[in-house]
C-alpha cells in the first residue's frame, strides 16, 4: 500500500485516508450504499467520509476493516488523526459544518459559534488555569475557526436562546463581556442570527440546567448535542430528539421576544462597558 505524501506532495494524511477508503471500497465491488449497509450506517455517511466532511472514527474504521478484510488498516489510520477540538466535541464540530440549521441554548456561557476570541480564551483558561499557553492558543484558534461558518449569509440558519445569567456573568471581565455582547448584537442586526433571552423573572423553564444544541440537516434526521463540564454527548434517538425539541420550544416560549431580547443585550453590554470605565 502507498504512503501518504507530506505537505510538499500536497496530500494530507486525511486526504490519503479518504482515497484509501474509496479505493478499497471500489476494489471490493461495493457502492457507498452497499458499504453503508454493512457497517450499520448510510451511503451518505460513507460519501461524507470519502469527501472529508466526516472524519473516519475508530469505531467505524473497525467495522470497515472487518467488512473489507483489511486487518486493522483503517483502524490505525483513524487513530493517526487528531482533531483540533477536545475529543468529546470533535464529531459535533464536524456535524455543525453540515447542518442547515443550528438551535443553541446557553444556560451559563455564550455558544461557541458566537464567541469572540477574548471570550473563548477566558472560558478555556478558566477551565484549565495551569494549561500550557500553546495548548490554550490552539483551542482558541479552533473555536474561532468555527465562527467562520457564520460568514455564509444564510447557512446554517441559527437560533440562540440565552439565559439572562449568560449576559451578566463577566467572563473575562467587563471589557471582554461588552465586546462579546456587542458582537452578538451586530450579528442580530445583520439579520444573520435570531437571539432570545430568558429573563431571571421567567423562573423554571424547559432546559434550565443544560447547554443544548439541536442540528437539522438537508438529508438526515435531527441530532442533539448536550454538554457539561469536560463531557459532551450526541443523541440521535428520535424519542430523545423530540423531548429536547419540546424543551427548546418551552425555553423559547419563556423567553423575551427577539426585539426585546436585543434591547436587553445592548443594555447589558453598556452596563459592562461602564463598569470597565470605573
Domain assignment of residue 239, yes or no: yes
- The last residue of one of the domains, among 52, 79, 106, is 79
My answer on whether 113 and 37 are in the same domain is no
DSSP string, 5-61: --GGGT--HHHHHHHHHHHHHHHTT--HHHHHHHTTS-HHHHHHHHHTSS---HHHH
Q: In this structure, are 135 and 245 located in the same domain?
A: yes
Among the three residues 23, 54, 79, which one is the final residue of a domain in this structure? 79
pLDDT of residue 22: 92
Q: In the chain, pLDDT over 90 holds for what percent of residues?
A: 64
More confident residue, 125 or 87: 125
- What 3-state class would DSSP assign to 266? helix
Quick one: 261 and 139 in the same domain? yes
Q: Counting every residue, how long is the chain?
A: 278
Task: Judge if 48 and 15 occupy the same domain.
Answer: yes
- The number of domains in the chain is 2
Question: 3-state secondary structure string, 159-227?
Answer: EEEEEHHHHHCCCCCHHHHHHHHHHHHHHHHCCCEEEEEECHHHCCCCCCCCEEEEEECCCCCCEEEEE
**Same domain for 128 and 258?**
yes
Per-residue model confidence (pLDDT) at position 3: 37
- pLDDT over 90 at 201, yes or no: yes
pLDDT band at 2 (very low <50, low <70, confident <90, very high): very low
- Give pLDDT tens digits for 120-136: 999 999 988 999 999 99
- Interval 81-90 mean pLDDT: 74
Omega within 30 of 0 (cis) for the link into 8: no
**What's the pLDDT score for residue 79?**
72
Least confident of 14-18, 32-36, 140-144, 219-223: 14-18
Domain boundary among 79, 110, 127: 79
Same domain (yes/no): 50, 168: no
Domain match, 62 and 167 both: no
Q: Note down the domain range covering 185.
A: 87-277
Same domain, 147 and 14: no
- Model confidence pLDDT, tens digit, residues 161-198: 999 999 999 999 999 999 999 999 999 999 999 999 99
Q: Are both 20 and 147 inside the same structural domain? A: no
User: Band of the pLDDT at 13, cuts 50, 70, 90?
Assistant: low
Strand 193-198 and strand 157-163: the pairing is parallel
Q: What is the pTM (predicted TM-score) of this model?
A: 0.76
Q: What is the CATH number of the domain that holds 57?
A: 1.10.260.40
Positive/negative CA dihedral, 10, 150, 119, 106:
negative
CATH number at residue 102: 3.30.870
Amino acid at each position: 500500500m502507498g504512503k501518504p505524501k507530506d505537505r510538499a506532495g500536497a496530500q494530507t494524511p486525511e486526504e490519503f485516508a479518504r482515497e484509501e477508503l474509496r479505493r478499497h471500497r471500489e476494489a471490493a465491488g461495493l457502492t457507498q450504499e452497499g458499504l453503508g449497509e454493512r457497517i450499520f450506517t448510510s451511503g451518505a455517511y460513507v460519501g461524507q467520509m470519502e469527501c472529508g466532511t466526516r472524519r473516519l472514527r475508530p469505531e467505524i474504521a473497525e467495522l470497515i476493516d472487518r467488512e473489507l478484510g483489511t486487518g486493522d488498516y483503517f483502524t490505525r489510520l483513524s487513530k493517526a488523526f487528531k482533531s483540533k477540538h477536545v475529543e468529546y466535541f470533535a464529531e459535533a464540530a464536524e456535524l455543525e459544518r453540515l447542518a442547515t440549521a443550528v438551535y443553541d441554548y446557553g444556560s451559563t456561557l455564550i455558544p461557541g459559534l458566537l464567541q469572540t476570541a477574548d471570550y473563548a480564551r477566558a472560558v478555556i483558561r478558566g477551565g484549565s488555569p495551569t494549561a500550557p499557553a500553546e495548548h490554550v492558543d490552539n483551542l482558541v484558534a479552533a473555536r474561532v475557526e468555527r465562527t467562520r461558518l457564520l460568514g455564509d449569509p444564510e447557512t446554517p440558519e441559527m437560533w440562540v436562546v440565552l439565559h439572562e445569567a449568560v449576559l451578566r456573568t463577566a467572563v473575562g471581565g467587563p471589557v471582554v463581556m461588552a465586546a462579546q455582547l456587542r458582537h452578538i448584537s451586530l450579528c442580530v442586526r445583520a439579520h444573520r442570527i435570531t437571539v432570545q433571552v430568558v429573563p431571571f423573572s421567567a423562573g423554571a423553564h424547559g432546559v434550565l440546567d443544560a447547554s443544548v444544541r439541536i442540528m437539522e440537516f438537508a438529508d438526515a434526521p435531527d441530532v442533539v448535542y448536550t454538554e457539561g463540564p469536560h463531557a459532551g454527548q450526541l443523541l440521535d434517538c428520535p424519542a430523545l430528539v423530540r423531548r429536547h425539541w419540546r424543551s427548546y420550544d418551552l425555553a423559547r416560549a419563556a423567553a423575551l421576544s427577539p426585539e426585546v431580547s436585543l434591547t436587553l443585550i445592548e443594555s447589558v453590554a453598556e452596563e459592562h462597558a461602564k463598569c470597565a470605565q470605573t
